[in-house]
Amino acid sequence: MRASPWQQYAVLVKQGLRAELVDKERIVSPILFALTLLLLFAFALGDLDDALRLKVYLAETMLTALFALQVSFSRLFEPDRQDRVFDLLRTYPLSHTSLFLAKYTLVSLLGSATLIPTLLFGAFLNQSPKLQLFSWTVVGIALLALAGLGALGVLLSALTLKANARQILYPLLYFPLTTPVLLAAIQSSRLCLEAGGLTPDVNSWLGLLVAFDCIYITLGILLFTELVDES
């Protein structure tokens, strides 16, 4: 009996996690990359006043997380390319939507493992007696940003899978498309930290962030099947 799409999704997620845990370098390297960049920022900028410290904290953590996540996303389909998985999909009744959602879940979990330590370490490096930088609300906003970035990362990884210059093409597509997500995340986080909680202005930026998340997730689901069929 053919497995349902949700059963296929569960199996794909389990297999993906097992493969990632076998190759721990794929998990550790983005985290080390992010922590190294934060240390470089801290030594380069030195002492800052509190008003500037908050903005620098958000800018450096969000940008560092963006670069670290891009490293993970660009390598997302490397095992599938080496094993010619997309060629096998044409002969196996696997739901392409299940494959997209499984990859999306995988990058969301691995991205969270990079994003949360980045925010914690960035807050530690920029801590001030008069300024509370770390906030679980900001972590939630960052995870919302990850929701959009993850969908975009899966879609672009599939799009550039067989491109000869994919290492160049991927960032050229990825970074411009992340701009609205990062802008909404940074602005809502800044206003949240300055006000000490959610305000109407914060909610406006969060609405924009959620809107782009929905757009990228919807586009990923709709376009992923076409990309797999043409790969």
| pLDDT attached to residue 87 | 63
Whether 80 contacts 86, CB under 8 Å: yes
| pLDDT attached to residue 1 | 47
| pLDDT attached to residue 53 | 84
- Total domains present in the chain: 1
pLDDT per residue of the chain (231 residues) written in tens, 0 to 9? 467 878 888 888 888 788 777 777 777 888 888 888 888 888 887 777 777 888 888 888 888 888 888 877 777 776 666 666 666 665 666 777 888 898 899 889 888 988 898 889 888 888 877 778 888 888 999 999 999 999 998 888 878 776 676 777 878 888 889 899 999 999 999 899 888 878 889 999 999 999 999 999 999 888 887 776 665
| pLDDT attached to residue 231 | 55
| pLDDT attached to residue 217 | 92
Question: If phi over 0 gives left and psi between -120 and 50 gives alpha, with beta otherwise, what is residue 168?
Answer: alpha
Burial of residue 5 (CB within 10 Å: 0-12, 13-18, 19+) is middle
Its domain, for residue 49, covers 5-230
State the Cα–Cα distance between residues 218 and 129, nearest whole angstrom.
43
| pLDDT attached to residue 163 | 67
Taking alpha carbons only, the member of 78, 59, 61 closest to residue 69 is 61
Question: If phi over 0 gives left and psi between -120 and 50 gives alpha, with beta otherwise, what is residue 132?
Answer: beta
pTM of the model: 0.86
Positive/negative CA dihedral, 73, 79, 83, 85: negative
Which amino acid would we find at residue 39? L
| pLDDT attached to residue 211 | 95
Residue 25 is classified by DSSP as H
| pLDDT attached to residue 2 | 61
